[in-house]
Amino acid sequence: MAVAERTKRTQQRKRKPKILAVINDACTGCGGSPICITECPVDLCMYEVQNPDAPFFNRVEVDPLLCIGCKKCTSKGPMDTFLEGCPWDAIDMWSLAKYETEKGELPY
């Protein structure tokens, strides 16, 4: 989905999230089958991109304008079994204030 289409979807948002999922450098893309993408309830919020440090592997990115801060990407595993977060500890939950301080204000 293009950035313009993602931005269009966020215009329907009723309120800002208090926290956002942020992918750190530990992301491995789970070998092409990332459970975080599967468990995210928001279509196209999490998506795969090529890993610049390992071009043969993908990593996951989060669209901060679509993330609702539900934490399902960090706690829900396959077949409704619970994990203690991402198996690689690659998803951090940041407050909206921290995100906007470090990465810039989001156009909500």
Question: Where do the domains of the chain lie?
Answer: 3-100
- The domain over range 3-100 is classified in CATH as 3.30.70.600: no
Residue 10's SS3 state is helix
pLDDT tens per residue across span 40-56: 999 999 999 998 888 88
Taking the whole predicted model, whether its pTM rises above 0.85 is answered as no
pLDDT tens per residue across span 58-93: 999 999 999 999 998 887 555 555 555 577 889 999
Residue 89's SS3 state is coil
Contacts of 70 (CB under 8 A, 6+ apart): 40, 41
β-strand pairing of 91-95 with 58-62: unpaired
Contacts of 60 (CB under 8 A, 6+ apart): 23, 27, 29, 34, 36, 37, 46, 47, 48, 49, 90
pLDDT tens per residue across span 2-41: 555 555 554 566 789 999 999 999 998 888 888 889 889 9
